[in-house]
Chain A
Amino acid sequence: MFSTEQACWFIRKVICWRAVASIAWAVLLLPPITAVFVILSRFSLLHPIHTTSECLSLLTSTSAIFSFILLGGVVVMVGFLNLEYYTVIPTIACSKIALFGQLLHPRQFVNSLVHCMMGLIVAWCCTVTTGDRYEMLSYVCVQSDGSSQMCLNEYHLVFLLAGAFVGFSHSLLGVIHNMNYVSFHTVQQYKYLRFKGSLPLVVKCSATQALYSIRNFIVVYFFLGHIPRAWISKTLNLHLNSSVHTLDSIAGLLDLSLLYQLWISATFLLFTWYITLLLFRIFVTEVYSFPVQSSFTEDAHLCLPKVLTDKQPMILKFLAMQDLALLSQRSPSRRCEVFSLSQPGGHPHNWNAISQECLSLLTDLTQRLVVYHDTVATNGRAKSLSAGSERKTSSETSVTSGTEDLMSPRPSVLMKTPASVFARSVVGGPQSPLTAPFTPDLDSPFASPALRRLTAPVEQCSPWYGTVQSPHIMRRAPKLWSTSTDSQGNGSPLSAASVHTSKQETSQPSLLAQFLQNRKEQVKNFLAKRVLIMYLFHKLPEASSQALFADSQAHIWALEGLSYLVQASFSEDQFGVVQTTLPSILSCMLVLQEAVDRHFKLPHASSKPVRSTSSMGDSTYKTLRFALRATLKTAIYRITTTFGDHLNAVQVSAEHRKRLQQFLEYKE
């Protein structure tokens, strides 16, 4: 398909090169990091000059160069995994069971295994550079009867196992802390300055993380250490030296030098990996400037209006939205191109494409919030749907009926057949990743973000947009949450018809289905009383709220882009192209504002998450909803302060006018 080709173009020409550059820098940084590690691991206060010369000779030896090549290979592999697993929309597990699902997913399993192997390799390199008693797996020992034989060097074994353990726990923590999530910064700095600024954090994180990992490893080794030891000595036919302590005893583990070496090596391992991750994040989120229009038609698919509507690689969409937000703020010449008319015909194609895409994004979010709120309102808590896969099979229903279902909430219907209503209610973007995570099951544990990124089909422009502009819906828009009697009282034939059709649909399930439904409820109630089940299925507080706003960075940029463009149009728009869309922009923002306000009244929605500073996992997604709320308000204020009383001439519904008046008087 055309747009997949184009997506490939972006991935191939931009993202891959950025990833390659980040990996190259990580490899280049490896020698100094290794040198620091060697000095730290071999330094002794008593013989400073001796150790320094020793370190220098070690760094130039053949074994060091070989292990250095190995380390370079590991860094390249880590960089490749970063590229393969990164996501711009975090996967948020809404319950413990979903988290376990994520951890046990085959793709994640492969990831953990690879990390385990790489940890092993790095640990081996560390033993080589540390030298001394850690270097070889076997050594010649003299038994009590005087005969000499090959014995197992347990220190070496402990090092290798620790490396594997740290690698494994790194990959597990990566899932729990969403370490593959790439967030975009509001402050654009040059790459070098960003790197320099985050370096202290990386050092701190790797040191503390290494400390915790080594502590856990020691506990595990204390209890289970004899198993790998016996296995290795058996397979390699090595003996155990009975004259030295085994390391899974308290006396063996109380070796401070060993603990220090383990900790330093784990820090080194995590530091190189975190540096690779950090560089990848910095390079990938760098601003990319798309042309607004091109004079050649064959380049049209590279231009901003076209790129914005693509849903294929989310990173492309996000970078395009970011570019839109920045150009609308800072670049008068590019804004001018947005407001320009097409040469033959005189249509504002650029503005239309951009504003439509932004509006469809925002209405999408509004819709999602309304649906979520309705589910919560019906039974006091978010109703968990049984099968997340059902939505994938959503049939082609008429768009108007789908949206009408949304507009006239019927609690009872929602309760009886949640799946069917939801299946249709997400018609706006059934498989679009943007709408995906709005209930726990929708971000099913078996849809890893990268998979989702790959499998996300091409999505046409949301059909919801077409309907929102019709005056009929416009009139009804502010009544989104009116009771059903109200909406019927409207007496609009369309709504009545849609209510009728959907009632028919819902009455189709026979008595058998009803019976099954009841059984299911009973089983659910029974299971809900068991502690373990409760623990696994209990919804994490505010997780569903986070999931609802997981992709809100795009909405924030859409709001910023729209509001800055509208503000600039006051003085820069020569042809008045923005004026035609101003009513729909205003009503869209006001409806969203209402939905967001309503959402923040739900329990857990407005509670602030705990800030974790000492983790490499980016927790920006946890506060996206607050950022969205603030941006939305600022965006509306930006428009109202710019236009002032001129807004009274804009065609909006009476309720929205009242709302706008509040904004004009600064009372929101």
Chain B
Amino acid sequence: MCSLALFPPPMPPGHTTLCESNNELLSGAGAEDRPKQVLFTAASLKLHSRTESSSKAAFLDHSETLWMRSAAAWRDGGFTGLLTEITNSHTEVPKWLSVSSGCTLALLRWISSFHGSLFPHLTLSSEDMIAEFSQVLNWSDCVVRAFAWHPHTDKFAVALLDDSIKIYNPKSATTPTLKHRLQKGVAAVQWKPLCASALAVACQNCLLVWHVDPCSLSTRPSSGCAQVLSRPGHSPVTSIAWSPSGSLLVSASPIDTAVIVWDVAAESCVPLQRLGGGGITFLSWSPDGSYILASTPSALFRVWETRMWTCERWPCVKGRCQSGCWSPDGSRLLFTVQGETVIYALTFADSPESCFSPVAAVVADLSETTFNTPDGDIIIGGEIQCLAWDPRGERLAVLIQAGRPAIIAVFKTRTNPIFELLPCGFVQGEAGSEPRLMQFHPNFQHGALLTVCWSTGKITHVPFYFLSAAAPPFGLSGSPLLPCPQERPSALTNQSLFTEFIS
């Protein structure tokens, strides 16, 4: 088991981590040492000054008849809206009607509060729900709300606070900006594997699949390029995952107990309904495509196998499963539980008969540890927000949320002959910024490339240069990797990543 005590002490504040080379993390303090970065600041984004529902108060609607108002209430607020409307306009309706609708309303509220006491998350508003269950730390005030590398090329999509999505590609000068009427509260974005153009977006009310032509010169693709996938009772969508073969898309919502499997081209869906848990918050498809991790808001998560779509229940002791990631061969799952400071591992054997090992093993302990540095003691450790494993299975990044500020700890991992975690170091940003979101580049040739989105709206890339111990993995998910070239980081500095400032 690995713990934070084995880690090298963090750098003094002001130093930013640049890269890993020769087995150690290099840092720099000067402006010229800055890693390649993209910067978004909140000021540059045009935010919604007012939500749509709040404009209702500016208009007088009392001239309408009761029927009109009831119809409008039915349209806007459904059955409860209609009942509320009838109860409120008690001067115009017969007394028995207003009284009975008031009683029904009270009964409904009582039932829903009972339901809510079983699953407290159901009482949250959808914004709060996304913030609660998103993999992003402090989603609601985060400038960069979601980030996704394209699985095959050097292209990425960034969802911003103003509900727009930008797509950056080093090979093209245009930066398409995607905006859609329904694209609100983006919780996750993901590119479709084995496709150049399709980008799935998890929104507050629906699921959007954009088809962004990579050769197009348009900077504002029309909303006709987006497919809208929605299903009643399935919003907000907080997590999505494409199958590694690119054929299916699964989506999850904390208020829907079913995992929805979408056939995107046909726009048809199959709900996989299981009782218990009160919803689904996080999904992760194993890179070989055979398992899906689905965590619920309760202390329970499920692992689905995708051959016959059956699932195994895994009750947790303390809290819900917050985050999880799969090893590249899909045989090992690492996950973290809310309220605990450890990382668990589950091993899956190849044969489907004996696929589940009975218990999860603790592989790393990230409880609070004090480091003595020249500048004083620094305390690091606590609950874990999210996990990311690089596609070769050599580096594991852990975003620790509890420390102030949050910090990313990176482990070296080895799967053969036995699974083990070794300390690598901490990834730090500029003074006053904390990491919010991170992702590994899916096919970085010279090791691993961690992309971190910071609270300042900055996106940086931290490369880890190493020679892969095992043969380059070859699987369903990626292209066969070329053997690592023997060149050193200095030769790579002129490789263009992203350098852009928006402010």
Contacts and interface: CB of A to CB of B under 8 A. Distances in A.
Interface of A: 185-190, 193, 196-197, 329-330, 560, 567, 570-571, 608, 611, 620, 623-624, 626-627, 629-631, 633-634, 637-638, 641-642, 644, 665-668
Contacts of A626: 265-267
Interface stretch (B56-64, B67-75, B245-253): B245-253
A215 to B, nearest CB: 22
B267 A188 contact: no
Contacts of A190: 308, 310
A667 B212 CA distance: 10
B489 interface: no
B194 A571 contact: no
B307 A188 contact: yes
Given A187-B309, A634-B194, A623 B214 contact: no
B349 to A, nearest CB: 15
Interface of B: 150, 152-153, 155, 194-197, 214-215, 245-248, 261, 263-268, 270-273, 307-310, 474, 476, 478-480
Contacts, number: 88
B153 A666 contact: yes
Majority secondary structure of chain B interface residues (helix, strand, loop or mixed): loop
Given A630-B195, A665-B153, A668-B197, 20 more contacts: A187-B248, A188-B309, A189-B270, A190-B308, A193-B310, A197-B272, A623-B266, A626-B265, A626-B266, A627-B263, A627-B266, A629-B265, A634-B194, A637-B195, A641-B152, A644-B479, A644-B480, A666-B150, A667-B196, A667-B214
B152 A624 contact: no
Contact of A186 (B195, B263, B476): B263
A185 B310 contact: no
Contact of B265 (A189, A611, A630): A630
A642 B309 contact: no
Contacts of A189: 270, 272, 308-309
A641 B153 CA distance: 11
Given A189-B309, A631-B247, A642-B479, A197 B270 contact: yes
Contacts of B273: 196-197
A668 B216 CA distance: 10
Contacts of A197: 270-273
Contact of B478 (A608, A629, A641, A668): A641
A58 B3 CA distance: 71
B402 to A, nearest CB: 39
Nearest to B231: A613
Closest 4 CB pairs of A and B: A630-B265, A623-B266, A666-B196, A637-B194
A608 B307 CA distance: 30
A627 B265 contact: yes
Contacts of B155: 666
B152 A186 contact: no
Contact of B215 (A571, A633, A644, A667): A667
Contacts of A187: 248, 261, 270, 272, 309
A608 B267 contact: yes
16 contacts: A186-B247, A186-B263, A189-B270, A190-B310, A197-B270, A620-B268, A623-B268, A627-B263, A630-B265, A631-B265, A638-B194, A666-B152, A667-B196, A667-B215, A668-B196, A668-B197
A560 B267 CA distance: 19
Nearest to A185: B270
Nearest to A644: B479
A113 B245 CA distance: 48
Contacts of A329: 245
B171 to A, nearest CB: 8
A570 B197 CA distance: 25
Given A330-B307, A666-B196, A571 B474 contact: yes
A101 to B, nearest CB: 28
B356 to A, nearest CB: 18
Nearest to B478: A641
Contacts of B270: 185-187, 189, 197
A641 B476 CA distance: 10
From A188, A642, A666, A668, residue with most partner B Cβ within 10 Å: A666
A667 B478 CA distance: 17
A611 B268 CA distance: 9
Contacts of B195: 630, 633-634, 637
A94 B265 CA distance: 23
Contacts of A633: 195
A623 B262 CA distance: 13
Nearest to A629: B265
A626 B209 CA distance: 14
B308 A641 contact: no
Nearest to A330: B307
A668 B261 CA distance: 26
Nearest to B477: A641
A386 to B, nearest CB: 35
A629 B155 CA distance: 23
A570 B480 CA distance: 10
B247 A193 contact: no
Given A190-B310, A608-B267, A634-B246, A641 B196 contact: no
Nearest to A571: B474
B256 to A, nearest CB: 14
Given A329-B245, A634-B194, A641-B194, A188 B308 contact: yes
Interface centre among A560, A624, A633 (most CB of B within 10 A): A633
A110 B267 CA distance: 36
B479 A641 contact: yes
Given A642-B479, A668-B196, A624 B266 contact: yes
A465 B446 CA distance: 45
B82 to A, nearest CB: 21
Given A634-B195, A641-B478, A611 B267 contact: yes
A107 B248 CA distance: 39
B310 A186 contact: no
B248 A186 contact: yes
Nearest to B273: A197
B307 A620 contact: no
B215 A193 contact: no
A189 B265 CA distance: 20
Nearest to B197: A668
Nearest to A194: B270
Nearest to A329: B245
Contacts of B194: 634, 637-638, 641
Nearest to B192: A634
Contacts of B150: 666
Contacts of A570: 474, 480
Contacts of B271: 197
A620 B263 CA distance: 11
A624 B266 CA distance: 7
B312 to A, nearest CB: 14
A601 B261 CA distance: 29
Contacts of A567: 476
Contacts of B152: 641, 666
Contacts of B263: 186, 627
B161 to A, nearest CB: 29
A627 B273 CA distance: 25
A193 B275 CA distance: 13
A188 B271 CA distance: 12
Residue with the highest number of chain A CB atoms closer than 10 Å, among B197, B245, B264, B478: B245
A638 B215 CA distance: 20
A190 B267 CA distance: 22
Contacts of B474: 570-571
A185 B270 CA distance: 9
A620 B307 CA distance: 22
A642 B309 CA distance: 27
Quick one: which of A187, A637, A642, A644 has the most chain B CB within 10 A? A187
A341 B264 CA distance: 38
Contacts of B265: 623, 626-627, 629-631
Contacts of B310: 190, 193
Contacts of B476: 567
Given A641-B194, A642-B480, A667-B196, A620 B266 contact: yes
